[in-house]
């Protein structure tokens, strides 16, 4: 039996829902970290399979694991927030139940956090398929950033930064007044915008330590459901709640909204959603509003994909023409 760590250096939050195929590998990759002084907070989100049994078996041998069991399915945001309410570590990490991490991930990230007194440390990652084949290996450019503007520009421009939470550790204090919003999509974007806004020092390290299982379908190739609008809602919520003297940063938030308006519009028009006309009009209205708020001079020379800009310009000209061009390019 491995005893509980009284003062863990890193608290790792793992929401679990119907992950029996992956959860043992996931949790063992955390338990076997070279950084021993950690705690693992597992939130079983009312799984219908054997996920909880597997987690309890692991916890019976290692008291560094704490398990919370939701009585009904609450979603990732609720589960992560429950984890945040129960952490003891100076730093916080997140791992998804179908992913796993390299054995020295938290040692490497924590070492940089302590060396530079950093609020956020981000590393590279791999996207893998179900057979552990590497689809993408995304190394990052080593960097150190200071203050609200540098940290925010880094994240909002997606220039050497990623939206998701799992390839990072965060100073616990960033979450004193910050919680995950109740979205099914883009909750990571929301949380990272405001975490970076309050960040004093951010370190980015080159190496890939996080292994992220991906589906076959891309973000704009999945069937439309109304929850996908959370991607747009998250962007709008960020825009309305963001408070910065650096006005150019708002253009990056507007750009995010426009990207996901187009993405949702594509999925909507490809499917058989009952209220297609109503939702497509709403999306076009949102696009028009935030296109007017986007200042292209603000995002120039910030590593923005020119294909995204071209998509936005064509969609602005005519959404139906945009779809026609997209369909031709796919065939």
Q: What is the CATH number of the domain that holds 196?
A: 3.90.550.10
- What pLDDT sits at residue 112? 98
- How many structural domains are present in the chain? 2
pTM score, whole prediction: 0.91
- State the average pLDDT over residues 51-57: 96
Q: Which of 213, 237, 263 is the last residue of a domain?
A: 213
The verdict on residue 5 lying in a domain is no
Q: In 120-247, where does DSSP find H-type helix?
A: 147-156, 187-197, 230-241
Residues 92, 201: one domain? yes
Residue 236 backbone phi and psi in degrees, to 5: -65, -40
DSSP string, 20-79: TTTHHHHHHHHHT-S--SEEEEEEE---SSSHHHHHHHHHTTBTTEEEEE-SS---HHHH
Residues 247, 101: one domain? no
pLDDT at position 98 over 90: yes
pLDDT at position 218 over 50: no
- Name the more confident of 7 and 142: 142
Distance CA 252, CA 304 (A): 10
- What pLDDT sits at residue 226? 81
DSSP string, 174-191: GGSS----S-SSSHHHHH
Residue 17 lies in domain: 10-213
pLDDT at position 216 over 70: no
Question: What residues have CB less than 8 Å from 231, skipping those under 6 apart?
Answer: 185, 186, 260, 263, 264
The verdict on residue 221 lying in a domain is no
């Amino acid at each position: 039996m491995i005893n509980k760590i009284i003062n863990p250096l890193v608290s790792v939050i793992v929401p679990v829902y119907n992950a029996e195929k992956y959860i043992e590998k996931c949790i063992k990759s955390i338990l076997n970290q070279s950084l021993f002084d950690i705690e693992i907070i597992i939130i079983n989100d009312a799984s219908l399979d054997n996920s909880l049994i597997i987690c309890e078996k692991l916890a019976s041998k290692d008291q560094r694991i704490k398990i919370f069991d939701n009585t009904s399915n609450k979603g990732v945001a609720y589960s992560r927030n429950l984890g945040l309410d129960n952490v003891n570590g100076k730093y916080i990490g997140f791992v998804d139940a179908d992913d796993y991490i390299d054995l020295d991930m938290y040692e490497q990230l924590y070492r940089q956090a302590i060396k530079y007194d950093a609020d956020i440390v981000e590393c590279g990652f791999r996207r893998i398929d179900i057979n552990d084949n590497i689809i993408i290996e995304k190394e990052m450019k080593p960097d150190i950033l200071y203050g609200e503007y540098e940290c925010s520009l880094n994240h909002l421009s997606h220039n050497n930064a990623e939206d998701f939470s799992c390839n990072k550790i965060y100073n616990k204090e960033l979450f004193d007044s910050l919680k995950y919003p109740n979205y099914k999509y883009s909750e990571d974007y929301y949380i990272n915008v405001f975490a970076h806004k309050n960040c004093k020092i951010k370190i980015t390290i080159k190496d890939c330590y996080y292994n992220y299982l991906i589906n076959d379908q891309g973000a704009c190739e999945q069937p439309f459901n109304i929850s996908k609008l959370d991607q747009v809602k998250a962007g709008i919520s960020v825009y309305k709640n963001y408070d910065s003297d650096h006005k150019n940063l708002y253009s990056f938030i507007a750009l995010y909204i426009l990207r996901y308006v187009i993405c949702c519009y594509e999925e909507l028009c490809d499917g058989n959603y009952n209220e297609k006309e109503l939702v497509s009009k709403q999306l076009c209205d949102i696009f028009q509003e935030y296109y007017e708020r986007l200042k292209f001079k603000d995002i120039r020379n910030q590593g923005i994909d020119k294909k995204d800009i071209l998509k936005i310009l064509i969609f602005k000209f005519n959404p139906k023409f945009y779809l026609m061009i997209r369909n031709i390019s796919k065939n």
